Amino acid sequence: MTTPRPTLSVAMIGHAFMGAAHSQAWRTAPRFFDLPLQPRMHLLGGRDEQRVTAAAETLGWESTTTDWKSAVERDDIDLVDICTPGDSHAEIAIAALAAGKHVLCEKPLANTVAEAEQMAAAAASAAERGVRAMVGFAYRRVPAVALARELVAQGRIGTVRHVRAQYLQDWIVDPEVPLSWRLDKERAGSGALGDIGAHIIDLAQHITGENIAEVSGVLETFVKERPVAQGDTSGTLGGGGGDEGATGEKGPVTVDDAAVFLARFTSGALGTFEATRFATGRKNGIRLEINGSRGSLAFDFEDMNVLEFFDASEADETAGFRRILVTEPGHPYVAAWWPAGHGLGYEHCFTHQVVDLVRAVADGVDPTPTFADGLQVQRVLAAVETSSLTRTWQETLT
Query: 57-77 in b/e burial notation, b at 16+ Cβ within 10 A?
Result: eebebeebbbebeebbebeeb
The pLDDT value recorded for residue 181 is 92
For the chain, give every domain's residue range: 7-138, 141-345+375-395
Cβ-contact 260, 278 below 8 angstroms: no
Is the peptide bond between 367 and the residue preceding it cis, with omega within 30 degrees of 0? Answer: no
Q: Please state the pTM of the whole predicted model.
A: 0.94
- pLDDT of amino acid 229: 82
One CATH from 3.10.20.740, 3.40.50.1010, 1.20.1050.10, 3.40.50.720 for 7-138? 3.40.50.720
201 with 217: CB under 8 angstroms?
no
Could you tell me which of 273, 127, 122, 281 has the C-alpha nearest to residue 208? 273
For β-strands 38-45 and 7-13, DSSP reports them as parallel
Q: How far is CA 15 from CA 67, 112, 335, 391, in A?
A: 14, 23, 30, 39
The tens place of each residue's pLDDT in the chain, 398 residues long, gives: 567 899 999 999 999 999 999 999 999 999 999 999 999 999 999 999 999 999 999 999 999 999 999 999 999 999 999 999 999 999 999 999 999 999 999 999 999 999 999 999 999 999 999 999 999 999 999 999 999 999 999 999 999 999 999 999 999 999 999 999 999 999 999 999 999 999 999 999 999 999 999 999 999 999 999 999 875 443 333 333 344 455 679 999 999 999 999 999 999 999 999 999 999 999 999 999 999 999 999 999 999 999 999 999 999 999 999 999 999 999 999 999 999 999 999 999 999 999 999 999 999 999 999 999 999 999 999 999 999 999 999 999 87
d(CA 115, CA 109): 9
Question: Residue 287: its pLDDT value, please?
Answer: 98
Quote the CA–CA distance of 321 and 67 in Å, as a whole number. 53
- Say which DSSP state 397 is in: -
Beta strands per DSSP E along 221-370: 225-229, 246-252, 258-265, 270-276, 285-292, 295-300, 306-311, 322-325
Q: At what angle do helices 371-390 and 198-208 cross, to 10 degrees?
A: 120
User: Domain 141-345+375-395 falls in which CATH fold?
Assistant: Dihydrodipicolinate Reductase; domain 2 (3.30.360)
Q: Is 379 helix (H, G, I), strand (E, B) or coil?
A: helix
- Residue 183 near residue 190, CB atoms below 8 Å: no
Q: What's residue 2's pLDDT?
A: 65
Neighbouring CB atoms inside 10 A of 360's CB total 16
Alpha-carbon span 280 to 284, nearest angstrom: 11
119 closest CA partner among 111, 19, 182: 111
* 240 half-sphere exposure, CB direction, 13 A CA radius: 12
Give the type of residue at 394. Answer: Q
- Tell me the three state secondary structure of residue 297: strand
What residues pair up with 218 in beta bridges, in sequence order? 260
Contacts of 159 (CB under 8 A, 6+ apart): 267, 269, 292, 293, 294
Say which residues have a Cβ less than 8 Å from residue 266's Cβ, sequence separation at least 6. 210, 211, 212, 213, 397
- The pLDDT, as a whole number, for residue 247 is 63
Amino acid 233: pLDDT: 42
Please list the residues that pair with 174 across neighbouring strands. Answer: none
Closest to 67 (Cα-Cα) out of 52, 82, 88, 47: 47
